[in-house]
């Protein structure tokens, strides 16, 4: 059984939802966790609200909306991250984008950059 990680590009977030593509997510796998590398935290951003979507517009959620606290860096208060288990089976629907999941995210206040990652396992 293969186990791997798919990562999206660093993307600026604000208090409005932004869609971030996470490519190379195979069809018919088990999702493991979502995590985010966060940097350039500004104006008191303390939490990220996100959900996963099957489409590039972020219109078709395939997970519940979740709010996570940004765990700030040990040495740099403007860096940090988060992680959450999303242990569910995944098969791309016909109305989704094959091979890609989308993280739709925003901050509670202020801004930051988010580089999302999704772990998965499958054949």
Tell me how crowded residue 59 is: count the other CB atoms within 10 A of its CB: 12
Question: Dihedral, CA atoms, 34, 36, 42, 46, nearest 10 degrees?
Answer: 40
pLDDT at residue 4 in the model: 96
Among 46, 63, 69, CA closest to 102? 63
Determine the pLDDT at residue 46. 98
Mean pLDDT calculated for residue range 8-22: 98
Distance of CA 35 to the CA centre of its chain: 6
State pLDDT tens for residues 53-109: 999 999 999 999 999 999 999 999 999 999 999 999 999 899 999 999 999 999 999
Report field, pTM of the whole predicted structure over 0.75:
yes
Structure tokens at 18: 């932004």
Q: Domains of the chain by range and CATH? A: 2-122 (2.60.120.260)
Q: What is the pLDDT of residue 1?
A: 80
Euclidean distance between CA atoms 116 and 123, whole angstroms:
23
Which residues share a beta bridge with 18? 105
From 63, 50, 54, select the one nearest 17 (Cα to Cα): 50
């Amino acid at each position: 059984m293969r186990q791997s990680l798919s990562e999206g590009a660093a993307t600026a977030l604000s208090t409005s939802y932004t869609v971030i593509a996470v490519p190379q997510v195979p069809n018919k796998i088990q999702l493991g966790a979502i995590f985010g590398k966060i940097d350039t935290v500004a104006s008191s951003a303390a939490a990220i609200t996100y959900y996963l979507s099957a489409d590039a517009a972020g219109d078709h959620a395939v997970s519940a909306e979740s709010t996570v606290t940004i765990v700030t860096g040990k040495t740099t208060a403007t860096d940090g991250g988060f992680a959450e288990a999303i242990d569910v089976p995944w098969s791309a629907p016909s109305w989704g984008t094959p091979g890609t999941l989308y993280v739709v995210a925003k901050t509670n206040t202020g801004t930051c950059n988010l580089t999302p990652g999704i772990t998965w396992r499958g054949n």
